[in-house]
Structure 1
Amino acid sequence: MKKVLLLAVNSSWSHSSLSLYYLRAMLETMPYQTEIYNCTLKDDPSEILYELVAKEADIICASVYIWNRAYLERLLSAVASLRPRIKIIIGGPEAPYLKAPHRYTLIKGPGELAFKRLAESGFQIHEDCIEAENYLLKEIPFPYREEDKRDLEGKLVYYETGRGCPYGCVYCLSAQDPRREFRFDTSNPRDLEKLHRELDSLIALKPKTLKFVDRSFNINKDLAHRIWEYMIDREDACICHFEIYPDLITDDDIRILKKVKPGRFRFEIGIQTCNPEALKASGRNTDWQKSKEQLLKLKEETHILMHCDLLIGLPGDSYQWVIDSLDQLMEIRPAELQLGLLKILPDTPMLSVARERGYIWEEIAPYKVLQSDTMSFEEIIHLDRLAHVINLYWNKADTRQIVLDALSKSRASDVFLGLVDYHINEHLPFHSLSPARRSGALESVISSQIEAGERLEG
């Protein structure tokens, strides 16, 4: 019996790889010995190489992403050199760009059906690149088993109820995905029974967080409401993470979400910018003022933890607009705020936009923007430092109250940019700092700003 090893190189021990569980499900009724092998970027590649070779697999499959591409390039090249008989199959968004001195087989696009056809042929591979029409999401078997609890308990587990996104944001991998399909038809009683069975199975795995990977989860209102209500009613349910499109939040949503207990639901909400021209140039059809009103209601009337995102480097967005967007978003006081650098991802419309507008960016993963059509390299670096400061001071519980006190007297940008200057002047690192040193930095910056304000008033 041939042995298939599904290799997951995760960014940390707490993550898992949904795609490989899907591939395992494709082999469910076939005569293969299948194993999912998990490791992380922190693991010694030499030790992982030894373990992979020792497993004596016939086929190794891996999903390639921005965060694990370099690791997999090194690891798979060594495996292929040591054991050239092993067939190596790669897929995922970064797979076409993997440097491969040896012959690998690439599955391009959605991989479940193409992988199943390969398996049905006994992995008789005659092409370097395989692409196939995919199953509908509702046709793909539930990916998890009861015994997976051993590996997934206490971790981040991913689940999918919809594929595709109608919004076409130019920087997103879903921008050119024409699908808009769902795993369940809420008008079909059998589908609802299936939904409840799958949610029960997910809860039984006892993950720390169940992350729904659907783009714009709340676009299918009835399905979203049924999932929210079911998870609210389950006392033993885990933390649930949803990606939410802010314009679509309604009063009906909030009526349901009022019942969520503290800490149970986490919403990831992409604002990206409050600049209407930059939103338009990015293909993002959103109304910030409408979003703000609903987010304020969500904040005031529910216990939802809101993680909000802003991007640095969108087409036409300026340094000052990023600062203004920060100030406007911080009026909501989200539980977490992430200010991230735009990535010019291959296979997204942003690549051609960046070329047309004269952007400069990293040519290898993670493809971070270095200079845009309206922002210099120096401005982007300063904003990147601002992003680290926000993460160090706002997103940490031990300094949250001090920051809140400061925000009652000053704009968010004044406080955080003051901290950027303090870190530069005191030669402090931006990536990590002890709680005591962070508290000291905050007190120093706040005192300086109070003194400056008093001098102006005098």
Structure 2
Amino acid sequence: MKAVLFALNAKYIHSSLAPWCLLAGVEAAGPAGVCAEVREGTVNEPERDVLARILDGEPDAVLFSCYLWNIRETLRLAAAVKAARPGAYVVLGGPEVSYNAGEVLAENPQVDYILSGEGERSVPMLLASLAAGRKPEEAAPPIPGLCARGFLSAPCVEEGAPPSPYAPAYLENLRGRIAYLETSRGCPYACAFCLSGRCGKPRWFPLEQAKRNILTLARSGAHTVKFIDRTFNANPAHANAILAFILKHYGRDIPAGVCFHFELAGDILREETFALLEQAPPGAFQLEIGMQSFCEKTLAAVRRKTDTGVLKQNIRRLVAMGNMHVHIDLIAGLPHEDLRTFGESFNTGYALGAQMLQLGFLKLLHGAAMREEPEEFPCVFSEDPPYEVQKTPWLLPEELDVLRVAEDALERCYNSGRFLETAAYAMAAAGLSPFVFYCRLGAAGARHGTANIPLDDYTAFLYNWCAALPGIDKACLRDAMVRDRLATNSTGRLPQCLHVTDALLGRAVKRLAQNPATAPLPGVRRGVALLYGARQVVFVDYTQKNPVTGRYLLHTRSIDNLFTE
């Protein structure tokens, strides 16, 4: 029997670990008469191309990994596979079908079986049964997590460590894409909006296995190795051992420039972990910390155990280290959070100074308590993926729209790193809180139609909008925008809205070049501009970005002193 283990990724840069885990399970079990291989595609590819890739070699079974971002395309592909090869078995698995298997089977006649939960053991058992011509429902011992019409099983949760998916074929397939690594499964929390707590109690895989896998992936050519442990520091000893191992080998067995990404619970960080994180070379670590909300009533309602005071203190401490990109999350649409209290959470999170503040929207996932307990968590949400919240007892649809346009402004100005100084100046000068600033900017952007305009056009829009705010000095605003553009655009060119014809600029460029302390580096592009509010000349040599902020280093000299030095 020929089996294809298939995953549809959101983008090419993403690689899917799931089918390789399943392949490792098949190869470890060695079911008789079964030959399996992994194939991948992206949701942006033409369906006919992806289908041809799946059907190449005329497989007898196709197993799809199903997620929130690919379920619609996956179900269409499954139907196309069944139409092209009616005798082939179509099997689904993954979080998007594990908790609603009966519904999926009833609505999709092209699907023969669903494997709910972990699949390293159940996939080879299913394929062995099909290869032998036996009904999987009658297998002895039973196939864990197997679901068929009239036959449903609970999601499979294993106890031991799965076989390693990092075979040579996986590494060859990476081709520089993001590599994913798990050193544990399960989550110690039971948040009502999340599925991770449904995956059993946390279990940590052997440290020696984790260390081998770290070295393997770091040497694979991947620029980013992302740990997918749901709470990486839930076991401090395990987390610290891994951090210490990476630091010991970084720049030697681990190539310099590889970035490791971890998801942490910020309020349970220990001193030993802080000490290790502080030693990381700039850009070697990225930290993602899910705050979700700072409203205590909201956190209690969604069963999220967080000491918000300690969380804020620890995030500030991590950001102050300056050697790591820190990413923090908020979720709009949670219980007991209206526009006012969400704004308070937003302002609190923004003030922590992380490099990214992600404003996400509640998604009612199959299997999550917030979807399965509507009496306790009343809200209206989209029936189609990604099941995003549309209305709650605390947030009206039009208020959610306010937050959506604020998210767009936040992404363009802050999370992109492009207009950090502009936003900071405008908020301070106009006396606006971050939440009010981004809500108003987002609304203006929506009216102006800024969704897909070029960067120079957005710069002009942002300048004009900020210039109309009370308390704004246009020269100081231009200074901030010039600094932002020079720090983030390696052409050194300013857009027309910031361009000023001034003979003094040419004299300043010449003077900088004559001074050995400020002369440009040979063969390196330089950007130079005049700052009229500060009476300075600013210049930047485009050699290397800061690996944490993604910005180039700016230098300034007083215009009054430049010609007397």
- TM-score, shorter chain, exceeding 0.5: yes
Q: What amino acid maps onto 1:367 in structure 2?
A: Y
Instruction: Name the stretch that deviates more: 118-127 or 84-93.
Output: 118-127
TM-score, normalised with respect to structure 2 = 0.74
Partner of 1:443: 463
Identity %: 26
Query: Relative contact order (C-alpha < 8 Å, sep 6+): which is higher?
Result: 1
- Mapping for residues 216-255 of structure 1, pairs under 5 Å: 216-233=231-248, 234-235=250-251, 236-237=254-255, 238-255=258-275
Q: After alignment, is 358-367 or 412-421 more displaced?
A: 412-421
Letter in 1 for 2:291: I
Tell me which residue corresponds to 1:141: 163
Paired residues of 2:330 and 2:359 also in contact (CA < 8 A): yes
2:228 maps to 1:213:
yes
* Aligned equivalents of 1:219, 1:103: Cα separation in 2: 38
Partner of 1:108: 116
Deviates more, 1:83-92 or 1:391-400: 391-400
Cα deviation 1:199-254 (Å, max 9, x = unaligned)? 21122222121111111111111111111122223213421111111111233222
Match in the other structure for 2:216: 201
Match of 2:418 in 1: 398
Shift of 1:414: 3.0
CA distance in 2, matches of 1:427, 1:194: 51
Matches within 5 A, 1:419-430: 419-429=441-451
What is the correspondence of 1:66-145 to structure 2 with a 5 Å cutoff? 66-95=68-97, 96=101, 98=104, 99-123=107-131, 124-127=134-137, 128=148, 129=152, 133-138=156-161, 140-145=162-167
- Measured in 2, the distance between the counterparts of 1:14 and 1:117 equals 32
Tell me whether 1:351 sits opposite 2:353 in the alignment: no
Match of 1:19 in 2: 18
Relative to structure 1, is the Cα distance of residues 412 and 137 closer, same or farther in structure 2, using a 3 angstrom cutoff? farther
Residues 87-118 of structure 1: per-residue CA shift (max 9 Å, x gap)? 11110122225441224211112222111222
- Whether contact under 8 Å (1:344, 1:354) holds in the other structure is no
How does 1:51-62 map onto structure 2 within 5 Å? 51-62=53-64
Structure 2 counterpart of 1:79, one-letter code: V
Stretch moving more, 418-427 or 85-94: 418-427
Matched-pair contact (CA < 8 Å) for 2:450–2:458:
no
Letter in 1 for 2:126: L
Alignment deviations for residues 57-90 of structure 1 (CA, whole Å, 9 cap, x no partner): 1111111111111101111101101201111111
Local SS of the residue matching 1:260: coil
Structure 1 residue 150, shift from structure 2 partner: 2.4
Whether 1:272 and 2:292 are equivalent positions in the alignment is: yes
Q: Does the aligned pair in 2 maintain the 1:175–1:349 contact within 8 Å?
A: no
User: What are the equivalent positions in structure 2 for 1:331-410 lying under 5 Å apart?
Assistant: 331-409=351-429, 410=432
Kept after mapping to 1: 8 A contact 2:20/2:170: no
Structure 2: any 5+ residue segments left out of the alignment?
138-147, 475-565
Write the distance in 2 (CA, Å) between the matches of 1:331 and 1:341: 21
Q: Do the aligned partners of 2:347 and 2:433 also contact (CA within 8 Å) in 1?
A: yes
List per-residue Cα deviations over 1:231-286 (Å, max 9, x = no partner): 22321342111111111123322211111112211111111111111111111111
Aligned residue number for residue 417 of structure 1: 439
Give, in whole Å, the separation in 1 of the partners of 2:239 and 2:403: 35
**Alignment-mate amino acid for residue 264 of structure 1:** A
2:63–2:92 contact (8 Å) kept in structure 1:
yes
Note the C-alpha offset of 1:398.
2.6
Aligned length: 443
Given residue 136 of structure 2, which amino acid in structure 1 is its aligned partner?
A: H
Query: Residues 30-41 of structure 1: matches in 2 within 5 Å?
Result: 30=30, 32-41=34-43
Q: Distance in 2 between matches of 1:34 and 1:263?
A: 38
Is the Cα contact below 8 Å between 1:312 and 1:339 reproduced in 2?
yes
What pairs up with 1:318-329 in 2 under 5 angstroms? 318-329=338-349
Shift of the 131–114 alpha-carbon distance from structure 1 to 2, 3 Å rule, reads farther
The 1:304–1:296 alpha-carbon spacing in structure 2 relative to 1, beyond 3 Å, is same
- Other-structure match for 1:164: 186
Alpha-carbon contact 2:78-2:111 (below 8 Å) kept: no
Q: Distance in 2 between matches of 1:385 and 1:105?
A: 41
Structure 1 unaligned regions, length at least 5 = 185-191
Per-residue deviation at 1:131?
5.6
- The TM-score with structure 1 as length reference comes to 0.91
Question: Which letter maps to 1:113?
Answer: R
- Residue matched to 2:8: 9
Q: 1:182: how far off? A: 0.7
Taking the aligned partners of 1:166 and 1:270, their CA distance within structure 2 comes to 14
Following the alignment from structure 1 to structure 2, what is the Cα–Cα distance between the partners of residues 312 and 193?
40
> Rg: which structure is higher?
2
